[in-house]
């Protein structure tokens, strides 16, 4: 209902709840008091653009929390032979990754001069120390026990990574799922030391090639292969966008966390593969 013919005024409908003294509100459900008070710039005097920097990274951490939640669920689904459920979780992760990738364009509005005015206040703080990012990499197969040293001063984060280090990856559970479905899996795939970083297993290549050459006979495996390829490709696009944003803002400067050149470190990460057989087989197909 408008007031006095003013189309910009709308009275509250009679059923709208206004008393939250004993009811859950939007803000209390989302704990917005905590969430919105977590942006605390450290620059002195406070630099306008540091708020952008903080929120962009906090948002990424929230998305990483959801990515890890979904990949854990996908891994559990493969362990229970629920391929459809696993692929649904992976599909959601791909959409999350799209949002994560697109938000680099917001951070890229930070010019080199603007960032330089507060970068020194960050000290040794760096995205290199994101335990959730490391957790996602660990559960996807890029494990490195040495990285746990970075988190020795943060016991809860260290515990998360230590647990994941000794657990099967998403890919490990996928191969075990296929074995239970009747596919002939080599022992080297089923008995792999799960605490080691995943590397290409030549023993798997004949099976992977067969599935790609006979998709109609192996549809669940074939569909899973392609979903996993999508997952890795989306992750690599996010990594690449990260690299390009870093190059745009700080060039080849050393990372605040001590990595030998922030952009150089990110460039090398593009060479990593979570599911190497699924990419290597493309060279063999059609030969």
57 marked as binding residue = no
242 marked as binding residue = yes
245 marked as binding residue = no
The burial class, CB within 10 Å (0-12 / 13-18 / 19+), for 222 is middle
Would you call 6 helix, strand, or coil by DSSP? strand
Give the largest Cα separation in the chain, rounded: 79
CA 223 – CA 124 distance, rounded (Å): 43
CA 206 – CA 228 distance, rounded (Å): 18
Contact 200, 270 (CB under 8 A): no
256 marked as binding residue = yes
Give residues with Cβ within 8 angstroms of 246, minimum separation 6.
Answer: 262, 263, 266
Give residues with Cβ within 8 angstroms of 278, minimum separation 6.
Answer: 208, 225, 228, 229, 232
List the binding residues. 115, 119, 242, 256
Residue list for the binding site for substrate = 115, 119, 256
Q: Please give the annotated binding residues for heme, written as ranges.
A: 242
């Amino acid at each position: 209902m408008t007031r006095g013919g003013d189309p910009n005024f709308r009275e509250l409908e009679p059923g709208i709840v206004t008393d939250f003294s004993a009811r859950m509100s939007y803000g209390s459900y989302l704990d917005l008091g905590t969430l919105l008070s977590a942006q605390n710039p450290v620059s002195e005097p406070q630099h306008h653009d540091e708020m952008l920097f903080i929120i962009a990274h906090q948002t990424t951490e929230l998305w990483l929390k959801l990515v890890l939640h979904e990949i854990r669920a996908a891994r559990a689904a493969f362990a229970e032979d629920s391929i459809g459920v696993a692929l649904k979780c992976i599909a959601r992760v791909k959409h999350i990754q799209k949002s994560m990738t697109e938000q680099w364009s917001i951070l890229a509005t930070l010019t080199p001069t603007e960032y330089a005015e507060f970068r020194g206040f960050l000290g040794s703080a760096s995205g290199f120390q994101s335990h959730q990012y490391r957790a996602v990499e660990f559960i996807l197969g890029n494990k490195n026990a040495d990285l746990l040293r970075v988190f020795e001063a943060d016991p809860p984060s260290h515990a998360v990574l230590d647990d994941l280090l000794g657990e099967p990856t998403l890919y490990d559970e996928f191969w075990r799922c296929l074995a239970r479905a009747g596919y002939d899996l080599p022992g080297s795939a089923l008995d792999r030391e799960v605490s080691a970083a995943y590397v290409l297993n030549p023993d798997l290549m004949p099976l992977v090639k067969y599935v790609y050459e006979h998709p109609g006979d192996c549809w669940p495996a074939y569909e899973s292969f392609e979903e996993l390829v999508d997952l890795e490709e989306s992750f690599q696009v996010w990594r690449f966008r990260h690299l390009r944003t870093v190059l745009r803002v700080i060039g080849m400067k050393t990372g605040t966390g001590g990595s030998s050149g922030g952009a150089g470190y990110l460039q090398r990460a593009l060479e990593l593969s979570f599911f190497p057989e699924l990419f290597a087989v493309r060279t063999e197909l059609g030969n």
